[in-house]
Amino acid sequence: MSLFGTSGIRGKVEENITPELAQKIGIAIGNYVNNLVCVGRDTRSSGEMLSKALISGINSSGVDVINLGIVPTPIIGFSTRKSESEMGIIITASHNPAQYNGIKIWNSDGSALNRKQEKELEKIIEDYNLSNWKNIGNVSKRSYTRDYIDSVVKEIDLNNNYDVVIDSGNATGFISSYVHRELGNHVLTLNSDPAKEFSRGLEPNENNLTELSNVVKETDADIGIAHDGDSDRIGVIDSDGEFVQYDVLLALISNYVSNKEVVSTVDASMILDQYLDVPVFRTKVGDVAVAHSIKERTADFGGEPSGTWIFPEWQLTPDGIYAGAKVVEMIDKLLDLSVLKEKVPEFFTVRKKIECPNEKKAEVQKEIESLVLERFNFDDLVTVDGVRVESEDFWVLFRPSGTEPYFRITLESESKDKVDEIKRKSEEVVKDALKSIK
Ligand code: MG
């Protein structure tokens, strides 16, 4: 049974993310570990139901659970280490809409499970043991949130105070407002009621953050910070009320944090290589691959152009809340973001997604590979993750989304005309590939 995508298990609650599935995964986890795991969830209405089923599965295989209740992903990583649990599990669908949910699993060191471990769990789901009646696991409620906030505040060094607007979309990111208040910043919150429904698209991108941008402008704030559903990601508005492009922000924070090596993904911009003094190692898309490359290479920072960043000296779990505090520290130590971003070289980057049913993705990718050979002039073709075409003056990546029914196109060039030309050709390639597959 194949369950895991690039970022854990995810789907629609009415369709494939059911209590039965959560319970099976719970049983598999209980068979995989020996004693203790942490479980938490984001603010979705299906969260409690799924978490009860998951916990019952874990307990039925004789393993104890610390129930953390509603927490962001970074606090799952933190609590797992603090409680010396063998795994941390969060019920979340990250940036997907409210009708979605999913399960993401973390190791005791805060890194996400690797593919091998996921396969082992999938195997146990087919063949497991339940505990006898005397050894059924129990559940305790505990919170490490206070400890987490104190620890972030201790790590961040500010000489001045800033006017910060936090937009958590009514999800788990409200923790950021506590962190910034305790750092001495003046905080204004937006969409900060986790009991309400999500108030905007949860992906912290330019389209979804227009309200935050307006509030930053109207209140003359220094910065706006937004998160996705489980707050492993960050999106930032500068003091001019402008969204700071993901690739630019990734280059700035990498430069600020890293003295050794940065890990990023095949869809990240060339800006990184041009702007940084340290080497950039590229891995497959997804924070799981980034975390494992960081561990393997002992790199000192890793980030994806989706605003998912890992600070390994802090923790191996992507942490949007720590990331937001670190961006404010960068402003404090260097310059305002609106000034800093002007120093980053400009490229034209396009990210597009085209609908593609999950079951067609593999065939579409094969077809894209052959169409690309016919239609593009290029120097290099890389198929580590999707199809990446590289030439002297552009690159383009065709890659099926691991979490949604889309095929993604990412492309970049220093020339606007080139970008327009490659964009048109690339969209045609995906559409023709889709048409050719019945
Ligand atoms: Mg997320």
Q: How far is the CA of 252 from the centre of ligand 1 (A)?
A: 21
Catalytic position from the list 7, 61, 94, 213: 94
Mean pLDDT of the chain: 95
Cα-to-centroid distance, 106 and ligand 1 (Å): 13
Cα distances (angstroms) measured from residue 380 to each of 161, 190, 350, 388, 395 = 48, 46, 20, 8, 9
C-alpha 10/C-alpha 405 separation (Å) is 12
213 is known as an active-site residue: no
| pLDDT tops 90 at residue 198 | yes
Predicted local distance difference test score (pLDDT) of residue 138: 97
Of 250 and 2, the structure prediction assigns the larger pLDDT to 250
Q: Is the pLDDT of residue 275 over 70?
A: yes
Confidence bin at 73 (pLDDT 50/70/90): very high
Examine the pLDDT at 370 and tell me if it is beyond 90.
yes
Whole-angstrom distance, CA of residue 332 vs CA of residue 376: 46
Tell me, rounded to whole angstroms, the distance of Cα 153 from its chain centroid.
22
pLDDT of residue 92 exceeding 80: yes
Instruction: Return the pLDDT at 100.
Output: 96
Confidence of residue 260 (pLDDT cuts 50, 70, 90): very high
Task: Give the model's pLDDT for residue 216.
Answer: 98
Mean pLDDT, to the nearest integer, of 280-284? 92
Which tens digit of pLDDT belongs to each residue from 144-158?
999 999 999 999 999
pLDDT at residue 7 is higher than 80 = no
pLDDT on residue 39: 98
How far, in Å, is the centroid of ligand 1 from the Cα of 96?
Answer: 9
As a whole number of angstroms, the distance between CA 338 and CA 121 comes to: 46
Binning pLDDT at 50, 70 and 90, where does residue 437 land? Answer: confident
Q: How far is the centre of ligand 1, averaged over its atoms, from the C-alpha of 34 (Å)? A: 28
CB 4 within 8 A of CB 39: no
Give the percent of the chain with pLDDT over 90: 87
| pLDDT on residue 384 | 80
**Confidence check: pLDDT of 20 > 80:** yes
- Give 194's Cβ-side CA count (13 Å radius): 21
Ligand 1 centroid distance, CA of 70 (Å)? 14
| Residue 244 predicted with pLDDT over 90 | yes
Q: Are 314 and 322 in contact (CB under 8 A)?
A: yes
* Residue 1 banded pLDDT, cuts 50, 70, 90: low
Q: Output Rg (C-alpha) for the chain, integer angstroms.
A: 22
294 has pLDDT over 80: yes
Q: Residue 294 in contact with residue 262, Cβ under 8 Å?
A: no
Say if residue 357's pLDDT is above 80. yes
Average the pLDDT over each of 164-173, 252-261, 285-294 and give the range with the smallest value.
Answer: 285-294
Residue 84 burial by Cβ neighbours in a 10 Å radius (0-12, 13-18, 19+): exposed
Q: How far apart are the CA of 329 and the centre of ligand 1, in A?
A: 23
Q: What is the pLDDT of residue 6?
A: 67
* pLDDT confidence bin for 363, thresholds 50/70/90: very high
- Is the separation of the CB atoms in 165 and 221 below 8 Å? yes
Tell how strand 87-91 and strand 36-41 pair up.
Answer: parallel
Tokens of 407: 């095929």
pLDDT band at 71 (very low <50, low <70, confident <90, very high): very high
Residue-wise pLDDT tens digits, 296-333: 999 999 999 999 999 999 999 999 999 999 999 999 99
Q: Please tell me the distance between residue 227's alpha carbon and the centre of ligand 1 in angstroms.
A: 8
Average pLDDT over residues 169-185: 98
Distance CA 237, CA 214 (A): 10
- The Å distance, Cα 319 to ligand 1 centre, comes to 9
Whether residue 238 is predicted with pLDDT greater than 70 in this model: the reply is yes
- Fill in the amino acid letter for 316: L
In this structure, are residues 6 and 386 in contact, taking their beta carbons and an 8 Å threshold? no
Which residues are CB-neighbours of 412 under 8 A, at least 6 positions away? 269, 270, 347, 348, 349, 350, 394, 395, 396, 419
pLDDT given for residue 390 in this prediction: 86
pLDDT at 3: 79
